[in-house]
């Protein structure tokens, strides 16, 4: 058996034009590794990005702090450096520890109906953060962005993708009581629009050019779009969740899990936040899942052979991995047995790092492949099984998401969350989350709505429970002493 047939894998993905320069490009609109002298795309150099963007690497000390504050083992993405960089994540941990409010914010550009496994990575991680922190989550569908940044797509087309994309996102397993999904075309207005304009007033054309590389021929919708993606980082954009008292909401930061290419939007937002005394969003950045063709490329929704899609059948998954997945194995079995394979470029192994939960098992596979004990065909078989399981589980959940579930997630309504149940003192968030706020009315007659009363009752119960817990803890502590 030949262990390494990369013939199909090596058929290059189209190299974008800006690659003429050969440099690594990572921004919201282009992602690809440096092109070497030989014309081959290199793996993305993430350390260089950390340096260029001025973010911080997630180190062991931060992971220990995370575990100490949450009592939870870090997610495999964190353990394996897949979620690898951050801005001010430690401040969010401090807030969580003190019982102070924050929220999660992430998003997706609805550019097609074809969601692939790469798209699910930031959402999987976001779901885990929501389960861990028990905080509100807003998910933005940037239909406007996908219209503005494409020559061909119509408004009707991108709006049409919103509902199916929302279903895909919901199928990851988000809690409807804590999650608000919105499309820009539907939601812009009221408090959100005020924040968009507030943000745009503080960005000059020069800055936008420097951050995003726009030029004189860029349409002005694209130039302005950053203020829409940015304004979602501010809690005051969501009065139905956080209330209408801007003195309070201005102090509630977002934690934004995203792929590293989205950082420029939020670098800009953090800068403006500081100037207008709003809480700066914190960020936590993920790496990309390589395309089947190998390091330096990213799965593309429009190239079927580049990705495993969430609609693929078990057989399609098997065939794609066998046929296209770039292999780090040697050309002949004999040579592979003797010299071993290279897991750092092997796509099947890289996918296992993303999807295989068991650390020991992953380590066994790595060692066996590098020693040449495990052949490429065998490694691919393990990867195929893991991906088939992941995709099948998703499809099962996805089949159950009906239109009315989408409506529920996208309805403007108050959310319910607890935050850190062990914090000494929980700072209440909502006291002005009036129903009227959702309609753009700001309440203000001093009377509580039915919904507010319900929330108040709930909060009282939660507070009482917490007080009880704290008392019990104290009693136990005195007993133990």
Q: In 10 A of CB 458, how many CB atoms?
A: 13
Supply the minimum distance, in Å, between the C-beta of residue 28 and ligand TRP: 6
Instruction: Pick between residue 258 and residue 292 the one whose CB is nearest to ligand TRP.
Output: 258
From candidates 76, 108, 270, 298, binder to ligand TRP by CB under 6 A: 108
Instruction: Pick between residue 142 and residue 249 the one whose CB is nearest to ligand TRP.
Output: 142
Can residue 191 be called a binding residue for ligand TRP (CB under 6 A)? no
Supply the minimum distance, in Å, between the C-beta of residue 333 and ligand TRP: 42
Instruction: Pick between residue 119 and residue 330 the one whose CB is nearest to ligand TRP.
Output: 119
Can residue 269 be called a binding residue for ligand TRP (CB under 6 A)? no
Read off the tokens for 147. Answer: 């219209």
Can residue 140 be called a binding residue for ligand TRP (CB under 6 A)? yes
Q: By CB under 6 A, which span of 107-115, 151-159, 344-352, 463-471 interacts with ligand TRP?
A: 107-115
From candidates 258, 268, 383, 426, binder to ligand TRP by CB under 6 A: 258
How many Cα atoms within 13 Å fall on the side-chain side of residue 232?
Answer: 26
Can residue 298 be called a binding residue for ligand TRP (CB under 6 A)? no
Q: By CB under 6 A, which span of 1-9, 155-163, 255-263, 365-373 interacts with ligand TRP?
A: 255-263
Can residue 124 be called a binding residue for ligand TRP (CB under 6 A)? no
Instruction: Pick between residue 281 and residue 372 the one whose CB is nearest to ligand TRP.
Output: 281
From candidates 256, 279, 292, 379, binder to ligand TRP by CB under 6 A: 256
Instruction: Pick between residue 149 and residue 459 the one whose CB is nearest to ligand TRP.
Output: 149
Supply the minimum distance, in Å, between the C-beta of residue 375 and ligand TRP: 38
Can residue 109 be called a binding residue for ligand TRP (CB under 6 A)? yes
Per-residue interface string for the shown chain with ligand TRP, residues 50-89, x marking contact by CB under 6 A: ----------------------------------------
Can residue 255 be called a binding residue for ligand TRP (CB under 6 A)? no
Supply the minimum distance, in Å, between the C-beta of residue 402 and ligand TRP: 25
Supply the minimum distance, in Å, between the C-beta of residue 469 and ligand TRP: 34
Instruction: Pick between residue 143 and residue 370 the one whose CB is nearest to ligand TRP.
Output: 143
Angstrom distance (rounded) from CA 333 to CA 327: 13
Angstrom distance (rounded) from CA 140 to CA 107: 4
Q: Which residues pair with 141 in a beta bridge?
A: 108, 183
226-245 residues in contact with ligand TRP (CB under 6 A) are 229
Supply the minimum distance, in Å, between the C-beta of residue 44 and ligand TRP: 17
Instruction: Pick between residue 365 and residue 410 the one whose CB is nearest to ligand TRP.
Output: 410
Instruction: Pick between residue 291 and residue 374 the one whose CB is nearest to ligand TRP.
Output: 291
Can residue 142 be called a binding residue for ligand TRP (CB under 6 A)? yes
Could you list the residues that contact ligand TRP (CB under 6 A)? 28, 105-109, 140, 142, 145, 229, 256, 258, 262
């Amino acid at each position: 058996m030949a262990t390494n047939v990369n013939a199909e894998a090596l058929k290059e993905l189209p190299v974008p034009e800006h690659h003429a320069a050969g440099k690594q490009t990572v921004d919201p609109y282009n992602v690809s590794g440096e092109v070497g002298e030989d014309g081959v795309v290199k793996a993305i150099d993430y350390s260089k990005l950390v340096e260029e963007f001025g973010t911080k690497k997630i180190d062991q000390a931060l992971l220990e702090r995370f575990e100490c504050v949450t009592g939870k083992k870090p997610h495999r993405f964190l353990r394996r450096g897949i979620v690898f960089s951050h801005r001010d994540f430690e401040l969010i941990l401090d807030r969580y520890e003190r019982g102070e409010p924050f929220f999660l914010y992430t998003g997706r550009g609805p550019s097609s109906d074809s969601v692939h496994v790469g798209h699910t990575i930031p959402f999987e991680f976001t779901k885990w953060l929501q389960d861990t922190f028990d905080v509100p989550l807003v998910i933005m569908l940037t239909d406007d962005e996908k219209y503005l940044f494409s020559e061909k797509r119509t408004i009707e087309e991108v709006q049409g993708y919103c509902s199916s994309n929302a279903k895909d996102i919901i199928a990851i397993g988000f809690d409807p009581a804590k999650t608000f999904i919105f499309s820009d075309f539907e939601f812009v207005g009221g408090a959100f629009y005020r924040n968009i304009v507030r943000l745009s007033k503080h960005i000059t054309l020069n800055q936008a050019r420097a951050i995003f590389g726009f030029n004189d021929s860029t349409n002005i919708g694209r130039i302005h779009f950053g203020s829409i993606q940015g304004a979602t980082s501010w809690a005051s954009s969501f009065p139905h969740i956080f209330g209408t008292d801007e003195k309070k909401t201005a102090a509630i930061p977002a934690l934004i899990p995203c792929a590293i290419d989205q950082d420029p939007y939020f670098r800009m937002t953090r800068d403006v936040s500081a100037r207008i005394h709003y809480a700066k969003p914190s960020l936590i950045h993920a790496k990309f899942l390589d395309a089947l063709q190998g390091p330096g490329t990213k799965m593309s929704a429009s190239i079927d052979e580049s990705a495993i899609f969430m609609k693929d059948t078990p057989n399609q998954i098997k065939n794609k991995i066998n046929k296209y997945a770039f292999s780090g194995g040697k050309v002949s079995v004999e040579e592979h047995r003797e010299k071993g394979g290279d897991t750092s470029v092997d796509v099947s192994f890289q996918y296992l790092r993303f999807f295989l939960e068991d650390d020991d098992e992953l380590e066994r596979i790595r060692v066996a492949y590098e020693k040449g004990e495990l052949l490429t065909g065998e490694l691919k078989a393990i990867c195929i099984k893991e991906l088939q399981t992941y995709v099948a589980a998703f499809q099962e959940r996805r089949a159950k998401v009906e239109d009315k579930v989408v409506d529920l997630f996208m309805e403007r309504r108050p959310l319910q969350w607890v935050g850190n149940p062990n914090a000494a003192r929980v700072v209440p968030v909502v006291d002005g989350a009036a129903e009227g706020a959702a309609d753009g009315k700001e309440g203000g007659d001093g009377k509580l709505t039915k919904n507010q009363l319900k929330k108040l009752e709930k909060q009282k119960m939660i507070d009482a429970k917490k007080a009880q817990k704290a008392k019990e803890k104290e009693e136990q502590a005195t007993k133990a002493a």
